[in-house]
Structure 1
């Protein structure tokens, strides 16, 4: 059986590379995936263009090919491309989806497109643009005209980019997913009648067809959730199902008693949250399950084969009863076969031994890794100095990020008191992390993860209360996706009294590196500060910033936000791709929120630290 499969895979690859830009056929018929009428098995890996620097796309695709795969699957992240209402970007840098798909084809890989509109993916707001929450009457993932009008506009813009990249038009796209894990959402929102859920999923599926997609469709759900997630006319695939008999039984039940059979999310690792242990999976377990699929003619897609990085503010969050939010880490390493920095892991090598044929190419050379001499942080600027240059928005009550027309980053809330008050300060509507200052002195850290929403406070005459609030990523999974406002979303209460009148709000979206040229005032400990330094390089390469001496914040390298750090771990380093460094002068800017000690320098190391957990006390 294995020999036959390898022959079919070889024919599949030859067909793809020799007939690029020529129309082909890919069909789901008679219980098989058929390429130009011939049965094939899909051996795919999930890899997201947005989580890899564009200059590294080809290398990572070559890594997949050298592992023995014949397809790459990717979500499309709506909020990555609609950067403001009605403003679309499918061309800049990592946003060039069409280029990513073309590169995959050049490397001999088919493409499985997963456009959502909901994607989950441990991504900010599950892929939705934050500003949808400002549209009156809109209900995310609901059967309402405002939402469906937005999804239609998104699909129309997406299709313009990928229409000619379908296999029927000479491109590599062989399948398109309808919605995503909708059965899970149905199971969590039993307050909505199943009929209404079905109307929504049918409507969004029809939109995908109406814009012009003509390759086969599929759905992706847990095997026990097909009733809510399966769509007529789309192949049901089972996420994470390792029982082949169960897989075939449930697919047959929802697919006219026939295959083909596919696990669209086969997990070789798992996602990671701040302040929680880093999950791992032994190579032997992944190899054993892969062999089981091979032996039983089950197609699969490793989620993830290469996770990459949640650069900037792209990471999302989960929600559970123990923690009101579980923010996802910057690293999306996922314990995947290909590491965050693109390295072949022992898991990769073991799977390659199982999957490779005589035609499988060699593993591409790893990008060089360097250390940088300790980087001196020559400038330390108090964030309040930048605040003094911003015109505040003044309202009687604190406003949410969305009311302030801000998606990400931070908002500084400030309130002057003419009368004293003391007692418990309550921020029950904190979303998500706050540091509280009174007359410039730090009073407390409040934190949605640890459900710490209050502290004791004594406000004297003519005092100023400052609350710096961070959005740690909108929830991307589950019923709470429709409760995703950020900032302070309920009244501020002191000693049982609601504090109103003349709240000043200063916006710090941090969507670009702050310009510190005009600022000279040195920052102090226990104040939010911006550090800046420069360093010279004679050669470039990948490296890892060692953030163990810092508290909580973000880092810019040459103007690029490479992500969040937080001392609780388990991630203690930040990946710096060498393609974002340059020979000669480079610049680093660090926004440090906690700043318990003034830092003089930052170090780099050659290997990541992803399993060093140092949780804070609640």
Structure 2
């Protein structure tokens, strides 16, 4: 065993993410890396937002992140969840991360963006006299300083910063301000300097960062956000190259297809970053979770925040993304000491092939890259020939042997192409269990008020509700009532229901890119007095952009138009306003006032402004649950009084724009890889298990457009089909190596299959060693196949949570000695509790 293999053995055995809980450590930085207790560290991080899942599942989500090779958990701090009242336990979340032996990057902000309502700002902030957000404004700076100090003091009181024995090694002030700073002029520049000095004065004893902030003043570290950050350079030679948001996918908006990011491209971006001198990289998101209640930002952000992350919305491993990234992390970790010690040397092999290698007293490591988006290449490095697929990076921890290539995915897969394929059970809600309540159209309470002109919605409702009624009347003579009439309504967003004489007349809405819209619809008016009731609907307060906090919403123009001209402009007349729905005011979602509900078998379906209620028992098992709301139109849903989120399955994504398969090669953006074109953006809505009782759970829906609640089902996962495939010529994943040999030539590849925690392999459905054909879910035996492989795999794997089989003729037999053989396995995992 030479020195390289001895060092590698020591590294594999003794390296890890754990630190001793309660032990005080120092965190500084230099030009190469964060320095933790005097040691430069190469760190993998992942974003998990504590309000987007429930505390009961934090430990499992965090442990799966650690198992995937993460060192750090990154979270925003959501101001509107801490003031005026604390609605989530940030301290508990940080301590849960600490219990797992991981570090924390606390992004205090206080602006977070995050596709979160109002970017995380509490709505009361908007109503402080003279306030202007995110600029050198005295009122805003005063409130921001109070909040920053509150969170820092909260962490210090619990001794959660690293110097106190806690897990927090980084803090962030502001967020992506550099993207909008231009709009604030000199006030923006002064604000950046103030925010930085204020953060430093709080004496957290850990470094502060500002992401997307080229002018971040010392000692604040400026960091990169984006799909690629290999070309990013810090604004000072004293700062390390850090990546705070590497987008694992993109967010879902109502009316849009579902974005996804191929893992080959994601791994390519990560490898390129570390190849070019990066030492801290964070996935945004590693687990996205759910926008419960009305927390989704705007406009039109969906309730799911799945983000195509390595852990899906329900906490399941998204394979092969999770596994391929885990293998990548393991491979790069083998190079850690040399990467944080030396600077890279660059070699060009040609126009689009290159290498960066690190050479020093601690060894040698190299990254060979082919950045061509279509052509594979062969290159010679250190007098050896290497094959590089297009758009890929090979990692050589000894500058000789390739242990990982970003384009070669050997990790376990599931049947579906872009997600987690599962077995499901669907439970229908009994027809007789439904009751309902019809919401009154227009003004319903004494707290209505009359004002001249059309009021802006956010300043009127103060975000206590998504809804604002605009009501007026119009008197027409016989001649006018016989004309072809149109109502022309212009709105800043986000959606609008029109009622004429209390009957539904039209529905208009914007989209995620532009929430404003014009509704021009024919109407019929009777001779005499007529009522116009317009229900303006918000779908999340805007969360991004310069001056986003003053962006308006609601109706700003209403005109009655005849065949040739404007007959009446209603924009300046008196309107009567009502904030919210009567059912909201009566808290029907809590279902405590049963006298308001009508019960019977003749359920009024496909009607607007209907409240529906049913009870159900929790399905057996521990698996996460979802409501299938494909039969509904648009609305909100609660379980046991807790908000599941906004739903809108009636808003279909465009029918075009999806590519199947999507070529991972070439520069990725959020519109490149899409699925579910022509389909509802979201039909399944997550119901946390911890929100349920064994029996008698109350489901309440406010249906705004019209739907059929009798077709709603409750869905749970009971199993999953998984696959794995490897060839004799494949590179063994790093964590498969025989640590006693550490010999590249002697170690055989393995096929490993693994179920979710609490599940086990209940059957092996296919196994073939030789020349198996097809892909996951469609395997078949080729012309060469060893005998008894299926029975051997079944004996090894069935009844276990995981198993591994060597891809070796000495173990499986040799049906065709002159052929390079492979092993393919397809198995079924089953929930033990179902």
TM-score bucket (shorter structure):
0.7 to 0.9
Q: Which residue of 1 is the match for residue 162 of structure 2? A: 167
Correspondence list, 1:543-562, <5 A: 543-562=625-644
Q: Which residue of 2 is the match for residue 281 of structure 1? A: 261
Name the TM-score, length of structure 2 as normaliser. 0.63
- 1:129 and 2:122 correspond: yes
Q: Which residue of 2 is the match for residue 96 of structure 1? A: 89
Q: Which residue of 1 is the match for residue 313 of structure 2? A: 340
Q: 1:7 to 1:486 in 2, by over 3 A?
A: farther
| Aligned partner of residue 131 in structure 1, secondary structure | helix
Correspondence list, 1:563-602, <5 A: 563-566=645-648, 567-568=650-651, 569-595=680-706, 597-602=707-712
Cα distance between partner residues in 1 of 2:146 and 2:551? 22
Of 474-483 and 136-145, the range deviating more from structure 2: 474-483
Cα distance between partner residues in 2 of 1:418 and 1:9? 84
Cα distance between partner residues in 2 of 1:201 and 1:413? 41
Cα distance between partner residues in 1 of 2:217 and 2:285? 25
Correspondence list, 1:598-609, <5 A: 598-606=708-716
- 1:213 and 2:270 correspond: no
Q: CA deviation at 1:395?
A: 2.6
Q: 1:338 to 1:605 in 2, by over 3 A?
A: same
Q: Which residue of 2 is the match for residue 402 of structure 1? A: 459
- 1:473 and 2:540 correspond: yes
- For residues 240-290 of structure 1, the C-alpha deviation after alignment (integer angstroms, 9 at most, x for no partner) is 26353x22xx21xx11x2442111111221122111121111122222333
Q: 1:438 to 1:408 in 2, by over 3 A?
A: same
Q: Which residue of 2 is the match for residue 270 of structure 1? A: 250
Structure number having the greater helix percentage: 1
Q: Is the 8 A contact 1:316 1:473 kept in 2?
A: yes
Which of the numbers 557, 569, 584 marks the counterpart of 1:497?
A: 569
- 1:313 and 2:294 correspond: yes
| Aligned partner of residue 200 in structure 2, secondary structure | helix
- For residues 456-476 of structure 1, the C-alpha deviation after alignment (integer angstroms, 9 at most, x for no partner) is 334432322212221111111
Which of the numbers 453, 456, 464 marks the counterpart of 2:522?
A: 456
- For residues 157-185 of structure 1, the C-alpha deviation after alignment (integer angstroms, 9 at most, x for no partner) is 22232123111111111011121111101
- For residues 531-576 of structure 1, the C-alpha deviation after alignment (integer angstroms, 9 at most, x for no partner) is 1101123635422211111110111011111111112232121111
Q: Is the 8 A contact 1:141 1:147 kept in 2?
A: yes
Higher relative contact order (CA 8 A, sep 6+): 1
Q: Is the 8 A contact 1:382 1:530 kept in 2?
A: yes
Q: Is the 8 A contact 1:371 1:543 kept in 2?
A: no
- 1:391 and 2:447 correspond: yes
Cα distance between partner residues in 1 of 2:163 and 2:584? 43
Q: Is the 8 A contact 1:424 1:496 kept in 2?
A: no
Q: CA deviation at 1:333?
A: 0.5
Which of the numbers 518, 530, 533 marks the counterpart of 2:614?
A: 533
Which of the numbers 497, 500, 507 marks the counterpart of 1:445?
A: 507
Q: 1:438 to 1:386 in 2, by over 3 A?
A: closer
Name the TM-score, length of structure 1 as normaliser. 0.84
Gaps of 5+ in 1: 318-325, 609-618
- For residues 33-62 of structure 1, the C-alpha deviation after alignment (integer angstroms, 9 at most, x for no partner) is 111001111110011001011111111101
Q: 1:281 to 1:201 in 2, by over 3 A?
A: same
Q: CA deviation at 1:600?
A: 2.6
- For residues 54-94 of structure 1, the C-alpha deviation after alignment (integer angstroms, 9 at most, x for no partner) is 11111110110110101000011112222xxxx231xx4xx
Q: Is the 8 A contact 2:468 2:577 kept in 1?
A: no
Q: Which residue of 1 is the match for residue 595 of structure 2? A: 518
Cα distance between partner residues in 1 of 2:151 and 2:269? 35
- 1:40 and 2:41 correspond: yes
Q: CA deviation at 1:524?
A: 6.4
| Aligned partner of residue 403 in structure 1, secondary structure | helix
Which of the numbers 282, 306, 324 marks the counterpart of 1:301?
A: 282
Correspondence list, 1:416-431, <5 A: 416-419=473-476, 423-431=485-493
| Aligned partner of residue 309 in structure 1, secondary structure | coil
Q: Is the 8 A contact 2:494 2:509 kept in 1?
A: yes
- 1:144 and 2:140 correspond: no
Cα distance between partner residues in 1 of 2:717 and 2:547? 36
The number of residue pairs the alignment matches comes to 567
- For residues 98-123 of structure 1, the C-alpha deviation after alignment (integer angstroms, 9 at most, x for no partner) is 11001000001100011112111111
Q: 1:557 to 1:481 in 2, by over 3 A?
A: same
| Aligned partner of residue 712 in structure 2, secondary structure | strand
Cα distance between partner residues in 2 of 1:368 and 1:138? 53
| Aligned partner of residue 490 in structure 2, secondary structure | coil
Q: Is the 8 A contact 1:437 1:467 kept in 2?
A: yes
Q: 1:368 to 1:275 in 2, by over 3 A?
A: closer
Structure number having the greater strand percentage: 2
Q: Which residue of 1 is the match for residue 175 of structure 2? A: 180
Q: Is the 8 A contact 2:498 2:532 kept in 1?
A: yes
Gaps of 5+ in 2: 335-411, 413-419, 561-566, 652-679, 719-834
Cα distance between partner residues in 2 of 1:514 and 1:486? 28
Cα distance between partner residues in 1 of 2:633 and 2:47? 33
| Aligned partner of residue 312 in structure 1, secondary structure | coil
| Aligned partner of residue 23 in structure 1, secondary structure | coil
Q: CA deviation at 1:300?
A: 0.2
Q: 1:430 to 1:442 in 2, by over 3 A?
A: farther
Q: Which residue of 1 is the match for residue 665 of structure 2? A: none
Q: CA deviation at 1:394?
A: 3.1
Cα distance between partner residues in 2 of 1:12 and 1:411? 54
Cα distance between partner residues in 1 of 2:535 and 2:10? 58
Of 479-488 and 176-185, the range deviating more from structure 2: 479-488
Q: 1:339 to 1:13 in 2, by over 3 A?
A: same
Q: 1:456 to 1:182 in 2, by over 3 A?
A: same
Q: Which residue of 2 is the match for residue 615 of structure 1? A: none
Of 540-549 and 528-537, the range deviating more from structure 2: 540-549
